[in-house]
Structures are given as C-alpha cells and as structure tokens.
Amino acid sequence: MDKQPPAGSPDNTPAIADASFFQALLFWLKLGFISFGGPAGQIAIMHQELVEKRRWISERRFLHALNYCMLLPGPEAQQLAIYIGWLLHRTWGGVVAGVLFVLPSLLILIALAWVYIAYGEVPLIAGIFYGIKPAVTAIVFQAAWRIGGKVLKNKWLWAIALSAFVGIFFFNVPFPFIVLGAGLAGYLGGRFVPRYFQPGGGHGSEQKSYGPALIDDDTPTPEHARFAWPRLGRLLMVGAALWLVPMLALYWLFGWDGTLTQMGWFFTKAALLTFGGAYAVLPYVYQGAVSDFGWVTPGHMIDGLALGETTPGPLIMVVAFVAFIGAYVLQVFGPDQAFLAGAVAAMLVTWFTFLPSFLFILGGGPLVESTHGQLGFTAPLTGVTAAVVGVIVNLALFFGYHVLWPEGFDGALDWPSALIALGAALALFGLKLSVMKTLGLCALAGLLVQWLI
C-alpha cells in the first residue's frame, strides 16, 4: 500500500499520517514496548493509533480483521498487528509487525527470569513475589468473571462452562479434549438451538468514522492480499520448513527425549490450542510443564504469570519464562552454561509458539479480504469460549490452593497471603484499579510482610 489518498479533505480533516515502511517499523517497535494491559489494552492502543490518529485503516476494516483474529488460536492482538502490517506492506510488513510485537517482551522476560532464578532468595525479591502471588489469584478470578459476563448469556453456555470445570477439576481431563468437546457441543447447539449460540455482538459499532483512511471501507484489495493457490502453497512450504528445520536440528543434537526437543514439540501443540487467550491455555501448559515434564514447579508458574502481567507483550509470553527456568534448572548445557541454556530455550519456545500465528494470518488473510462483511463467531467457537470460563476458574483455584496453603491442606493457612489476595480482589472488583496498580500495591504489601516477619 504505497499510495495514499489526498492529504486533506473539504471539511479540513487532518492529513493521513505517513505510512511508509520505515514509519510503520517505528510504530511496531514502539508498540512492542508499550503494549501493557493484555489483549484488550493492546487492541485499544492499536485502534487509537492506527484508526483514530494515523488513519492507516478504517474502523470497519480494523474490526473485520479483529473478528478474524478472534476466531484463531493464538494471541489475537499480535495477530491483528501482523494482519495490519501485512495489509500495509506485504509479507515483510506483517513479519516485522509480529516480531516487534513480541521481541521486547522476550528480552525483558529473559532478563527478569534470570534475576528471579539467580536472586529469588534475596529478601527484596522474595518480598515482592510474596506479595504478587496472591494478587495473581485475584487477577485470574477477575479474568473468569470478565469473560463469563460477556459469554455466558444462557443456560446452554453455562452448562458447557460447568462441564469444562468439572472435567478438568475433578477428572483432570486434558485441555485438548475439553476444547474438542466444547467445539462439538457448540456445533450441535448451533444446529438444534441456534438462537442460543448466536454471536453476542461485535467489538463495537462499525458506524464510526474518523475520516478518510489509507485502507478505507471501499479501498480495493491490493494485489498481494488477493487469494491465490500458488501463493498459499509457497507459504505453507516455507512455514513447514521454518518449523521442521529447527525441530530436526534439536532431534539431531539432543534426541527426541531431549528437553529442548520436547519443549519445541509441546509448545507447538500449545500454540494450536490457545482459543480464548493465555488464561485458557495455561492449564494445559501447567499439565505439561509441571505434571508431565517437571520443567517448573507450581510456584514457578504463579511467579511467571505475575511477571507476564507486569511486562509488555502477549501474556502467553509466560511460556518463555517457563522454558528459561526449566532449561536453567535442568542445566541443559551443563552447570557452567545455565544462563545460555535458559536463553536459548526461551527463544526456541517463543519461535514455536508464535510461528503458527504468522502462518494463520499470511495464509488466511487473503480469504478474509475476499469479503468485507462482518465475520462473526461460529457456534463451535462460542462453545469453546464458554468452556474457557470453566477452565479459567479451575486455574484460579489451582493458584489459590498453592498460594494460600503452600504446604497443602494439611498445613496452616498463610494468613498474610490470604489478606493480600482479599485486598487484590477488592482493588480489582470494588475499586476498579488496573492490573498494574494492583500488582504494585500487592508487591509493596509483600515487602511490608517480609519486613515485619
């Protein structure tokens, strides 16, 4: 998209901001460092900057792309960035947008994970984590409440959510089976009681207009965004090579049972199951990383989520923390190269986790661009989204158990942690404080408890 419409308009609408490849690169880099607040905050930043301020894309086209990204597994905010970058500047535009969306977060998390594992016993660091662990429990409950309030609109969806909770909490049903079962329930519901599985509305009104946009409602689809089988075939072959080459290299170097090889395979599967965002897939990551492989402990998972909440980028970047801790503690490269092992593991896991997102957008984008009508939720996805609520409640109870009863139910209740968790809940639900402010206050509370005890 190299040509722009006229700079002004008869009603003195401000000129469209420069949308050169270099200007776009600067914006995506900036976004990578300021994308706090989870997907809602990240999408809001992109809307404000790209739709309202710079007018690189119209409201309707922005929401059309967002609705497609919401249908996919993976971080929808990052996928939206890839989509808009691709629409503006072809494949390399999408690649740059997607990479810069996660790169700052990856580098920050590697540094924080090293500080955490190397100096976590230092009283200052220990006190901070003591305070934010209970806050994470309240944050996850808030996520369940927020998503549930939007999704669970009738008894059928409530039934799916309850079934998912019972399945994973009482019977330890693997997360992939819950996704498949919920999708099937949604499909059957769409067939037999369709009015209960209709989309619950879009992401805002499409009637708003902020003036002419570079990619406007009636802007013809550029040549590179038109669907073509040869182009899709080439993309799939490149994508397969980008996954297969590092996977074969890991197999050759470490064998199939090697830690890094298993991490690559496990997080590839996780990347394809992240319907509903990071909170939904965390139980699956927990089952694998804690129960099956023993890469991290339950405490590590809670601390990793806390760090993910306080850094920019997608929350699913917690997988980089998990990989770093696992490779560092297991000394994959030997005792003298613990940091290198952790850093390599974090980068490999990030590669395998986010590669599918690029393929989904670069491959599916042309199909989406073939129609500019509203792309709503399908009935199966509605079922999966309902199940996600039950899964997140299970995650919150899991965190609460390990934080409030660190020695198990046979041990004593950790009263300071319980009070901090209650305070975090009041801050989030009652005072409507942001996640960042809540975590900051709870960190101070943890330091106070550490000082008093």
pLDDT per position as a tens digit, 48-78: 889 988 999 988 788 778 767 877 788 888 9
Q: Where does 96-195 show beta strands of DSSP type E? A: none
Contact 423, 137 (CB under 8 A): no
Q: Where are the alpha helices (DSSP H) in 287-378?
A: 298-309, 318-330, 338-369
pTM to 2 decimal places: 0.77
Residue positions counted in the chain: 453
Contact 378, 191 (CB under 8 A): no
> Which sign, positive or negative, has the C-alpha torsion 152, 157, 162, 168?
negative
CA dist., res. 311 & res. 179, Å (int): 28
Phi and psi at residue 72, to the nearest 5°: -95, 155
CA 26 vs. chain centroid, Å, equals 23
Q: Which of 57-66, 152-161, 346-355 has the lowest mean pLDDT?
A: 57-66
Phi and psi at residue 215, to the nearest 5°: -105, 95
Is the pLDDT at 242 greater than 50, yes or no?
yes
CA dist., res. 20 & res. 3, Å (int): 10
Residue % of the chain over a pLDDT of 70: 89
Could you report the per-residue pLDDT of 176-210, keeping only the tens digit for each? 788 789 889 988 988 888 888 875 433 444 445 67
**Residue 440: Cβ within 10 Å count:** 17
Structure-model confidence comparison of residues 323 and 71, the more confident one: 323
- Measure Cα distances from 263 to 96, 288, 324, 344 in Å: 25, 10, 11, 11
Could you report the per-residue pLDDT of 405-422, keeping only the tens digit for each? 887 778 889 999 999 999
